[in-house]
Each structure stands twice: as structure tokens, then as C-alpha cells.
Chain A
Amino acid sequence: MTLLVLGAVAVMLIAALAALLLPDLLGALAAASVVSLALAVLFALLGAPDVALAEAVVGSGLSGVMFAMVLRRVGYQPADEEETGHDDAA
């Protein structure tokens, strides 16, 4: 139990850092889904199976799919980041 909690928390935090640091938005999106999945495991361990079910379906499933669909329609190009990422001081 304790080991599982520690493992889930570690996976969650590493995935959150990956979501922050990954330059590719699709990769960051996948990392955010992993955060939700680890969170669902954590909820189940915390005695909240209802919430775990909701988080697993909604957090790591539906919201990731929503993001991915919008990303596909918007046509995100990572190369844009180099172009405009550093001139926000203007």
C-alpha cells in the first residue's frame, strides 16, 4: 500500500514535470494523461473508487482526446516556437 502510494506519486510528479518541460505539445499532452492515470490509481488507494473511475475515464481519456482533436484541427507546428517564443518582451 505504502509502496504503491509512493510509486503512484512519483509517476505523477515525473509526468507533470514532463508535461511542463517537453517541447512537443502532443508529448506534453500524453504526459498530462499519465498524470491523470497515476492520479486515478492514487484515488483508488485513498479509498475513493468512484472518483478514481471518473478520473480514469474523464481525465486520462476524454480530455486528452478533446485536446488532441483541437490540436489536429489547429495544425500545431513545433517550429513556430523558435520563431515567436522569445520575443514576448516586445
Chain B
Amino acid sequence: MTPDLLSHLFSIASAALVAIGLFMLVRSHYLLRALLGLTLMEAGVNLFLVSVGYREGAAPPIAIDGQLPAVMVDPIPQALILTAIVIGVGVLGLALALALRLHQSEGTLWLPRLRRRAQSACSKEDAA
């Protein structure tokens, strides 16, 4: 397989992940499913950035017995994604905590129901 085809493959795969995640995020009726879409989008972005740093036939950027391999992949996107994954789980935890709190106060996580409730609250405020 040529490197060109491989890079095509990674672009298509990461774009597909981002698109699937976005579709889930926009079209879901349940808040937790929308958050699941967010994690899929994150996975797509991570795959894209790591694949940018990849070079054909390159070794991981780690010295073995004090000797660095001759051709290595770019370590910078890897360091970036390493922190991005951990930040992602922190943000996901916060979002889930907010969702849990919303469920405690509203009794539901169904977005249409929450939207209707917010609208009726708005119109009540307008009438007052």
C-alpha cells in the first residue's frame, strides 16, 4: 500500500468518525447519547492528529538500549493527543456530572421534554 493511499484512509476514517459523532450530537433525543457522540468526535480528531505525525516505515520515538531508531515519527502530535485524551475524560466527567444534576432537578434527560419545559418557563416569564 502506498503512503498516499494510507493517508487517504486515515483522513476518510477520521472524517467519518467526526461526522458520525456530529450526527449523534445534533440528532439525539437523549442527552447521554449526545455526549457519546461528543466522545466519538474526539476520537476522530485524535486519530487525525496522530496520523499527521506518521511517516511511512518510521519507528516510535523511543530509544532502545540508548540508541534512537534512524527514522522516527513526529513526537509532537503524540504529546498533544496524550494530554488531549486526559483532558477529554475530565471534560466528559464534568459533563456527566452536569447531566446527573439536571436529572436530579428536572427528572428527565430527554431533550424534547427539557426543551418544552424551558420554552414554557420562558413564556411564563414573558406573561408575568
Contact = CB atoms under 8 A, between A and B. Distances in A.
Interface of A: 2, 5-6, 9, 12-13, 16-17, 19-20, 25, 28-29, 32, 35-36, 39, 42-43, 46-51, 54-55, 58-59, 62-63, 66-67, 70-71, 73-74, 76, 80-81, 84-85, 87-88, 90
B124 interface: no
Contacts of B111: 88
A20 B24 contact: yes
Interface of B: 1, 6, 9-10, 13, 16-17, 20-21, 23-24, 29-30, 32-33, 35-37, 39-40, 43, 46-47, 50-51, 53-55, 58-62, 72-73, 78, 81-82, 85-86, 88-89, 92-93, 96, 99-100, 103, 109-113, 115-116
Contacts of A51: 46, 50, 78, 81-82, 85
Nearest to B31: A74
Contacts of B10: 9
B86 A58 contact: yes
B39 A46 contact: no
B112 A87 contact: yes
